[in-house]
Structure 1
Amino acid sequence: MTVKQICEKLGLRSLTGECGMDREVKGAYICDLLSWVMAHASEGDVWITIQTHANIIAVATLLELSSIIIAEDAEVEEDTIKKAVAEGIPVLVSDKNAFMIAKELIAMGLGN
């Protein structure tokens, strides 16, 4: 499954346009503590968080995550979006909370 397919099926808004939408999604990870994500998320995961600062892009790049979903319509800083585009990391936004997003991803066959 690709980031684009998840975006379409979950009705997510892309803040980074078509950037990285062809990336393969292998699983999902939910956490808001960056150091914990660095220690436990896996390559290809879509990361669900409410964190919006530019450091999330550094973590996603380091781990080669497929994308980041920002839950609950949290406002994303402009620097974060610029860095995401530069690094090729799709940043998607949902009005749903992390639990509901995860529930929909599991129904689609994703999960670790």
Structure 2
Amino acid sequence: MTVNDVIKSLGLSVFGGEKGLSREVTGGYVSDLLSDVMGNASEGDVWATLQTHKNVMAVASLKEVAAVILVKGLKPDEDMLEQSNEEDVPVLGTEMETFELAGRLYGLIKK
């Protein structure tokens, strides 16, 4: 499954990092604590968060996540978007609450 497949299945918005839409998704991770993501997320995960700043992209790049999904209708800060495009890590968005997104992602990825 690719990031594009996740976008289509969940009706997500694409804010940036379009060059990374063909990345392979192998799992998911949900956290708003950057140090938690640094210690526990895996390469290929889709990371759901409500954090919208540049440091998210630094962690996303370091952990080689497939994409970042912003929940609750949040939009990325300009510097986050700029970093997303530079690193080719997609930043996506949804109106869903984190709990709903996590459940739907789990059902989609763990098939």
TM-score scaled to structure 1, two decimals?
A: 0.94
Aligned to 1:22: 22
**Counterparts of 1:17 and 1:81, CA distance in 2:** 8
Aligned to 1:37: 37
**Counterparts of 1:55 and 1:110, CA distance in 2:** 29
Aligned to 2:60: 60
**Counterparts of 1:64 and 1:36, CA distance in 2:** 15
Q: Is the 8 A contact 2:57 2:80 kept in 1?
A: yes
Q: Residue 110 of structure 1: CA displacement? A: 3.3
Which sits farther off after the overlay, 27-36 or 9-18? Answer: 9-18
Q: Residue 2 of structure 1: CA displacement? A: 0.2
4+ residue stretches of structure 1 with deviation over 2 A?
A: none
Aligned to 2:78: 78
Q: Is the 8 A contact 1:47 1:67 kept in 2?
A: yes
SS of aligned partner of 1:60: helix
Q: Residue 17 of structure 1: CA displacement? A: 5.8
**Counterparts of 1:84 and 1:19, CA distance in 2:** 10
Give the structure with the higher percent helix: 2
**Counterparts of 1:73 and 1:101, CA distance in 2:** 12
SS of aligned partner of 1:58: helix
Task: Provide the aligned length of Structure 1 versus Structure 2.
Answer: 111
Seen in structure 2, the aligned counterparts of structure 1 residues 17 and 37 have a Cα distance that, compared at 3 Å, is closer
Q: Kindly report which structure 2 residues correspond to 1:101-112, keeping only aligned pairs within 5 A, or say none.
A: 101-110=101-110
TM-score scaled to structure 2, two decimals?
A: 0.95
**Counterparts of 2:106 and 2:62, CA distance in 1:** 25
Q: Residue 107 of structure 1: CA displacement? A: 1.7
Q: Is the 8 A contact 1:28 1:110 kept in 2?
A: no
Aligned to 1:50: 50
- Which string of whole-angstrom CA distances, capped at 9 and with x for unpartnered residues, describes residues 45-102 of structure 1? 0000000000000000001000000000112101110110000100000000111111
